[in-house]
Structure formats: C-alpha cells, structure tokens
C-alpha cells in the first residue's frame, strides 16, 4: 500500500483496498479455517460443513495434507496484506521481512498440499486442472518473490509479491463466487437447493484465481 505522492483519490482508493484485503482475508482465515481446528472432519461432515464430507472418509495422510492446505492458506491470507503496508516497510523493515518469511512459508506449505490434493477435488477434471494450475503458479510466484528479495531486487520482489497475493486471495474469491453461483443455479437453472453447492463448485476452480491474476497484471502495468 504505497500512497506517497499519489493524488488524494488514488490514496483513498489504496487505503480502502488495503483494508478490504486485510479484513476479508482475516475473515476467511478465521471462519473457513477455525471450524476445522475445533471439530473433526467426521463431525463437520455430519453438519454438512464446507468440504469436510469430501475428506472425512479419506486416508489419514490425505486428511493431513488437506489440513496443511487450509491452515497454510489461512495463515497466508491473514498475514499477506501486511506486506503491502508502506509504513511497516519503511518504519519497521524487520517486521516486514519476518512477516514475509511467514507468508512465503505458508504459501509453500499450502501450495504443495493443494497440488497433492488437486486430483481429489469435488469438481472433477476441471477442478484438477484449475486448482492444480493455481497451486503451481502460487508456488512459482512465492518463490520468485523470495528470490528477488534475497538479491535485493525490490522492484521485481514487489511485482512477484502482488502476483503471489493474487493467488492467495483465491481463497476469498472462491467463497465469494460460490454465493451468487449457488443462487444462479437455483433461480436460473432450476437446480435443487441441496445440489446447488456442487453445481456452483464446478465453476470456481478457474474463476477463483484467473480474474485475480488479470487484475494484478493490469495494476502492475499501470504502475
């Protein structure tokens, strides 16, 4: 969130954008991850909560990878917006570096885990392709941002960090897209309410991250 030297309108827009990303990321990190840490997958599956039913009957190692994916993704979502706070970078660079290492570590854990379980998703081959591509790009961008920072190429580092965050934010957009898609499935296509989630979920493997990356590239080109 760099605001120095910008017109008032753009400064306000960036501040509002920062708080939107920070609060929405924290909200999803809390409400989408905490239930999996406070109840078993079997209990959540009985409550029809989230993706629990898809993994409750899986082998223990698959469940462990699933937990690594959601916990790592939750941490990345919660801390990544702090990396775009110009005041933190300028006044307490050590905090920026520490939070950056935490964010990259969380992305790597969640990205590798996401790549492993991509073939087990509920959207079939489209989901495998969409979520698999998301995981690969997420890992690529996170590593590229880290490598650029280590060679002190901070311009490249910020650009790769923006792309990495666009992939991280897929965790928020997936949930935001599901809501209108479920209503559309019921209202426009006559899908039964109990089948609306499965119908909507078939569209999100690419929808949750491709628009994010396009917007990120647009912003980077303007910058």
pLDDT tens per residue across span 104-155: 999 999 999 999 999 999 899 999 999 999 999 999 999 999 999 999 999 9
CA distance to 157, 163, 195, per residue, from 114 (Å): 24, 18, 25
Residue 1 lies in a domain: no
Which of 165, 211, 178 lies closest to 17 in space, CA to CA? Answer: 165
- Model confidence over 57-103: pLDDT tens digits? 999 999 999 999 999 999 999 999 999 888 888 899 999 999 999 99
- Which pTM value belongs to this model? 0.90
How many domains in the chain? 1
Residue 40 lies in a domain: yes
How many Å apart are CA 162 and CA 167, to the nearest integer? 9
Say if CB 209 and CB 172 are below 8 A apart: no
List own/partner pairs for 184-191 with CB under 8 A and 24 or more apart. Answer: none
Task: Specify the DSSP class assigned to residue 36.
Answer: H
Q: Are 14 and 8 in contact (CB under 8 A)?
A: no
- Examine residue 172 and state whether it is found in any structural domain, yes or no: yes
Backbone angles phi, psi at 47, to 5 degrees: -90, 0
**Residue 3 within any structural domain of the chain:** no
* Mean pLDDT, the chain, integer: 91
Q: Which domain holds residue 147?
A: 8-222
Residue 56 covered by a domain: yes
- Is 180 inside any structural domain? yes
Residue 3, helix vs strand vs coil:
coil
């Amino acid at each position: 969130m760099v605001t120095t030297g910008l017109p008032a309108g753009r400064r306000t827009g960036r501040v509002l954008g920062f708080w939107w990303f920070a609060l929405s990321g924290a909200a999803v990190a809390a409400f989408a991850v905490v239930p999996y840490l406070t109840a078993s997958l079997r209990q959540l599956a009985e409550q029809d909560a989230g993706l629990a039913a898809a993994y409750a009957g899986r082998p223990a190692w698959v469940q462990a990878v699933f937990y690594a994916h959601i916990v790592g993704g939750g941490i990345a979502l919660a801390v990544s917006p702090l990396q775009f706070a110009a005041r933190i970078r300028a006044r307490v660079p050590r905090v920026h570096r520490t939070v950056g290492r935490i964010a990259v570590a969380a992305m790597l854990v969640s990205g590798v885990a996401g790549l492993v379980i991509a073939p087990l998703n509920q959207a079939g081959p489209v989901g495998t392709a969409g979520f698999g591509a998301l995981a690969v790009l997420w890992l690529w961008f996170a590593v590229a941002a880290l490598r650029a920072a280590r060679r002190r190429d901070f311009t490249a580092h910020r650009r790769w960090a923006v792309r990495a965050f666009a992939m991280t934010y897929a965790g928020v957009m997936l949930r935001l897209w599901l809501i209108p898609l479920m209503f559309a499935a019921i209202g426009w296509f006559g899908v039964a309410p109990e089948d609306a989630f499965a119908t909507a979920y078939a569209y999100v493997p690419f929808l949750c991250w491709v628009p994010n990356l396009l917007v990120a590239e647009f912003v980077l080109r303007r910058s």
